[in-house]
Amino acid sequence: SADQIFAATEEAGLEIDILINNAGFGGHGKFHQRKLARDLAMMQVNMTSLVALTHLYLKGMVQRNSGKILHVASTAAFLPGPLQAVYYATKSFVLSFSQAIAQELEGTGVTSTALCPGAVATGFVAAGDLYGVKVFDNAASAESVAECGYEAMLKGDLVKINEKGLHFMLNWVVPFLPRKTVLKISQQSMEKC
């Protein structure tokens, strides 16, 4: 748990000046057909644990006037996600939370950055039963995404999308499309081949 992690670093006398909240998992299927316990566990990992860790470590960072936090959200944060409804919603929460505390931290020497990668080649596909989902066909390497996020965090960027094409689409095209069109496109990208 977040409390155990915090207690372990405190007992070891570690002063945490960089916090990377990267834990998370997803799932696939129509919401009403998924196991509720699995979706509630997803919410616990993707949101509650992230908030708890941030809260526990942030106080020390603010007191020292120094620190950097990287929250790994997703491009899913910008869209509704049919067939991954709870996952997309948790990532929207992470993006909103990260931006809100970034504003609250202005002038403290502490920054909060939201990394919003597209599909990444990790164990995420296996953990979420996402084999055959179209969007993962051209997944970025974990190394390239980690490097992108780390650089953005060091610069104190507010939000970083790892792919320029996705940045343009999510910020300049999607907001102007009819919501029903966005929902259809989003669902099609999540359908299994």
Q: If you average pLDDT over residues 38-65, what whole number do you get?
A: 97
Distance CA 113, CA 160 (A): 7
Whether the pLDDT of residue 30 is over 60: the answer is: yes
Q: Which position among 87, 88, 131, 150 bears the catalytic label?
A: 87
The verdict on domain 2-190 having CATH code 2.30.30.100 is: no
| Angle of CA points 33, 35, 37, to nearest 5° | 155
How many whole angstroms from its chain centre is CA 103?
18
Among 77-86, 90-99, 156-165, the range scoring the smallest mean pLDDT is: 156-165
Active site annotation includes 87: yes
Judged on CB neighbours under 10 Å (0-12, 13-18, 19+), 21 is buried
**Averaged pLDDT, 5-28:** 95
pLDDT band with cut points at 50, 70 and 90 for residue 128: low
**Beta strands, E only, 34-127:** 67-72, 110-115, 120-121
Map out the domains of the chain as residue ranges.
2-190
- Residue 16: how many CB atoms within 10 A of its CB? 18
> Residue 28's pLDDT is what?
87
**16-20, 34-38, 62-66, 136-140: which has the minimum mean pLDDT?**
136-140
Which pLDDT does position 182 carry in this prediction? Answer: 75
CA-based nearest residue to 84, from 40, 116, 128, 124? 128
Assess whether pLDDT exceeds 60 at residue 180: yes
The chain-wide mean pLDDT, for the chain, equals 88
